[in-house]
Every structure is written in structure tokens, then in C-alpha cells.
Structure 1
Amino acid sequence: MDFVTKLPKSSQGYDTIWVIADRLTKSAIFTPIRETDLMDKLARIYLKEVITRHGILVSIISDRNPRFVSNFWGSLQNALGTRLDMSTAYHPETDGQSKRSI
């Protein structure tokens, strides 16, 4: 998971793309969001766009974006039984799938 930020605003006000890459199938979900969207809204989008399509994930690799290290996100994934793995700072190859999808 990663974010492409600082994009020009769309007519709906979106300025960020949330990239969610599936390591198994090499498919990706590109979801438009606003950089200011709060974690509860992102959680709803995640449930709608990811969980409904793919089911509960075994693990997630993401960078150390504050959204992904928040207590809310950790609690949600813990409740779902999903393991959270954080990539090492300045080593984007850990999460290379989302980088290659962009």
C-alpha cells in the first residue's frame, strides 16, 4: 500500500491516489482519495474496495505513513487478523510491488 500525493485536484476534489497492490496476482487497486481524508473514511474505502473483492488479507506491507502506523489502523487490522509489516525507511524495494504499479 502506498499513496501518490500532490496531484492536481480532480473535479470531485481528489488529489491523491491510494495504491493497493496484490502480491499474489500482481493486480492493483487505484482508489482516488483526498490527502485530508481521515482514517475512518480510509477504513470504509478499504473495506469496500479491498475486503469485498479479495476477502480478509493475510498480511499488508506498507511504508511508515502516519496513516498506516496509527492505532486505529493497527486495531482494525488486528481485529481482522491481518499482519502488518512496515517497510524499512529509505528501502522502497520492500514494498516494490506498489512502486512498480504506479
Structure 2
Amino acid sequence: MTQKMIEDIKLIRERMKQAHDRQKSYANLKRNEVEFQAGDKVFVKNAPHKHVMSFGRKGKLALRYIGAFEVLENIGKVAYRLALPLSMEQVHNVFHVSLLCKYIYDPSHVLQAEEVNLKEKLIYEVRPVQILERKIKEFRNKSIPLVKVLWRNHKVEEATWEVKQDMRDRYLELFA
């Protein structure tokens, strides 16, 4: 009886080890070991968590990354101190490696530091620049007029379709 119990325990341990190794292999597929040196340029993830407003609007108009900022020093294995501009002095300048993305230098790429006017709660207002297109979305029993809006500090590829009446109510100057 003791021999049977020992064999069962060995079998259970073996299966647990296999399950642990399988889970570890899944986790390692998603892990990206990244290290930065002082002087490297990095982008900072805009909103570290879903549904959190960080440096801008959440949702479809939110920038994914802002920067490029220079790494000043390593703090431990996974944290880095960044050189942030004076306009972002309210933001703590130490970030976890998971919030950073390496900037790969390209001589043809010219970085222009955008002036970001942060309000007290670290948000900035995105304003529309112009209407690029108009269309009508047809449903079974109603039609909704839409406009494609180009937003300030965003590229043409990032323009979004908005309901015409909502845009007219908020930004009448676009329709003049």
C-alpha cells in the first residue's frame, strides 16, 4: 500500500511539473526581454491600463505612445528614469520597462517635439481641424449622416468618422 502511494505521489508530481512547464512556455512566448542604456531614446505608452486617461483622451483618438525621451538611468532591473520636458513636470519620471518602446534612430525621421498643454489632471484637449469627407450610413429604417474629421496633432490616417449632428453641435465653425 505504501509503495502504491509513493508511485501515485511521483505521478502527481510529474504531471504538475509538465503542467508548470507548459504554462511557463506560454508565458515566455509573450515576454520580450528589453534593456535600455543611458542615452537611449524611448517612447512611453500613453495609457498603461485600459479605460484610463493618462496624457490624453482614452479611446479611438488616444495616441499609443508619446516621446521620444532620453533614458537617464536604470533603476533596478525593470525601471528607468527618463528626461521629460518641462511641460510634463507633473508626471513622475520613472517608468516600468513594460511601458517603454525603443526608438530606433532613422536619419530621415525628424522628431518634432509637440507642445502638449497638460491640464491639471494630465489631460489635453483634442480639437478638430477640418472635415475630410462626408457620407451617409444607411440602416434598415434610418440614415445617419457622418463626417470624416481630421484632428489636431494627428495624421490623416488617424482621421475618424463622427456623427455629423454631434460635430455640428460641438464645433459649428467646421461647417461655416
What interval of TM-score do these two structures reach, taking the shorter chain for normalisation? under 0.3
More helix by share: 1
More strand by share: 2
Larger Rg: 2
Of structures 1 and 2, the one with the larger relative CO (CA 8 A, separation 6+) is 1
TM-score, structure 2 normalization: 0.14
TM-score, structure 1 normalization: 0.20
